């Protein structure tokens, strides 16, 4: 892969590219530092609703079907996603059709009509999306652990909002949200694969060179972690299987210890040789699925461990998970295991950059998050520098009994039955 390229237009739009020799596809990502965290509470879900509406017709392509047809007619893929701090729209096409991808995505970003009829149809679609999650406990439990850890803070809200708040978003509110927040200073254009940096810059300048900066934009409110006692939330459901998440506050993505935190995540949950899988599934046979992850934000983060188990084995599963956290906190990670984890992480990193979209996502997310692009080689230096002492020190900072949170979905009614299980003694 050739060195990454970066250019900033006079209006602040940033263009980053990662060329891949021998690859025939090109991926283009239009990414904004705009997500659900900046939304005023009465219109929570606006960023997600807006994401849907940008596919619903432009002044140049009034029929929504034309938008997808033009990309798919060349074998391409078109999609988007909304998070708590960013929203991205992307297309993957054969490299010779990069200009088409630019034209379609730019048209969506700059010329969407927000047709009232389409808006009402899409509102109903989002209502069904919100309702559907209630029927999928293995997904719902992850939303509820966010709510339990962060309470009323926007970082704990469902990205899609609620039926009540989505109902509040009329066309005027949506257009206002769009105009206030989707400006040049929040835009990163990322491309990977069969691309030339100068061509991408020229296309970006053509379509986005006159884009204005944000005026009076919404901004994130800083989240606070002031928890000082364990928390439990039960969702009583007549399910065949119990679904649970144990969560606790963790590091932001700006904390230099994030490389150590990622190592902890890998020790606990990367692959079938990880501690959670080996101890809780293979040795004890308690679960079919168990894994952990860290989710970092600008100012705060969260660690989560999920498990799905038989309704009669919940207590044993919670105890086993807490035992693994205690072990990580109290016992130094053996050097052999640490080195094996580092090698795994470096291998996964390199294999994850074999696709044009993954490269575009890499350069785009690095630029959006940090304002610079860290190469895989630089990342691997950080991975190699993590020590056993650093792992144990951070584990002691993060894994504290009074910071533990448990969400449990299943045929359970008494929270007090599970509070004693969240122990690290």
- pLDDT tens per residue, the chain (425 residues)? 457 999 999 999 999 999 999 999 999 999 999 999 999 999 999 999 999 999 999 999 999 999 999 999 999 999 999 999 999 999 999 999 999 999 999 999 999 999 999 999 999 999 999 999 999 999 999 999 999 999 888 999 999 999 999 999 999 999 999 999 999 999 999 999 999 999 999 999 999 999 999 999 999 888 877 788 999 999 999 999 999 999 999 999 999 999 999 999 999 999 999 999 999 999 999 999 999 999 999 999 999 999 999 999 999 999 999 999 999 999 999 999 999 999 999 999 999 999 999 999 999 999 999 999 999 999 999 999 999 999 999 999 999 999 999 999 999 999 999 999 999 98
Q: Is 156 helix (H, G, I), strand (E, B) or coil?
A: helix
Residues classed as catalytic: 51
pTM for the model: 0.94
Q: Is the dihedral of CA 327, 329, 332, 335 positive or negative?
A: positive
Rounded Cα distance between 348 and 345, Å, is 5
Rounded Cα distance between 274 and 258, Å, is 19
Rounded Cα distance between 315 and 198, Å, is 59
Residue 362 and residue 18 in contact, taking contact as beta carbons nearer than 8 Å: yes
Domains of the chain: 5-208 (3.30.830.10), 231-421 (3.30.830.10)
Buried b (16+ CB within 10 A) or exposed e, 253-291: bebebbbbbbbbbbbbbbeeebbbbebbbeeeebbeebb
Rounded Cα distance between 124 and 119, Å, is 9
How many CA atoms lie within 13 Å of 25's alpha carbon, on the beta-carbon side? 17
Q: Is the dihedral of CA 280, 282, 284, 289 positive or negative?
A: positive
């Amino acid at each position: 892969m050739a060195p990454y390229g970066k250019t900033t237009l006079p209006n602040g739009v940033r263009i980053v590219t990662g060329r891949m020799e021998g690859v025939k596809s090109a991926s283009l990502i239009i990414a904004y530092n705009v997500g659900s965290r900046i939304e005023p509470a009465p219109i929570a879900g606006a960023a997600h609703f807006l994401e849907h509406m940008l596919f619903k017709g432009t002044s140049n392509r009034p029929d929504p079907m034309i938008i997808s047809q033009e990309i798919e007619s060349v074998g391409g893929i078109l999609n988007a996603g909304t998070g708590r701090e960013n929203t991205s729209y992307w297309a993957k096409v054969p490299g010779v059709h990069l200009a088409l991808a630019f034209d379609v995505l730019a048209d969506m970003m700059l010329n969407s009509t927000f047709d009232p009829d389409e808006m009402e149809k899409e509102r109903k679609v989002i209502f069904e999306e919100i309702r559907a999650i209630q029927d999928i406990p293995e997904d719902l439990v992850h939303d509820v652990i966010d709510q339990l850890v962060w309470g009323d803070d926007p970082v704990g809200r469902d990205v899609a909002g609620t039926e009540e708040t989505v109902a509040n978003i009329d066309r005027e509110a949506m257009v206002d949200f769009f105009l206030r927040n989707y400006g040049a200073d929040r835009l990163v254009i990322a491309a990977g694969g069969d691309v030339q940096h100068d061509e991408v810059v020229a296309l970006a300048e053509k379509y986005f060179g006159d884009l204005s900066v944000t005026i009076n934009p919404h901004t994130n409110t800083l989240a606070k972690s002031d928890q000082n006692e364990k928390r439990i939330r039960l969702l009583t459901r007549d399910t065949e299987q119990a679904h649970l998440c144990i969560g606790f506050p963790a590091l932001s993505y700006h904390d230099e210890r994030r490389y150590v935190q990622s190592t902890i995540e890998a020790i606990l949950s990367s692959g079938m040789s990880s501690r959670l899988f080996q101890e809780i599934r293979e040795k004890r046979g308690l679960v079919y699925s168990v894994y952990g992850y860290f989710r970092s934000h600008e100012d705060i983060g969260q660690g989560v461990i999920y498990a799905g188990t038989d309704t009669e084995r919940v207590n044993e599963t919670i105890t086993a998970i807490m035992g693994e956290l205690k072990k990580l906190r109290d016992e130094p990670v053996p050097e052999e295991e640490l080195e094996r984890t580092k090698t795994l992480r470096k291998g996964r990193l390199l294999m994850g950059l074999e696709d044009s979209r993954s490269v575009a996502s890499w350069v785009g997310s690095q630029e959006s998050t940090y304002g610079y692009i860290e190469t895989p080689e630089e990342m691997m230096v950080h991975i190699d520098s993590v020590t056993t002492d650093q792992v144990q020190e951070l584990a002691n900072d993060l894994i504290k009994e009074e910071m533990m949170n448990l969400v449990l979905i299943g045929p359970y009614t008494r929270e007090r039955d599970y509070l004693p299980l969240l122990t690290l003694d």
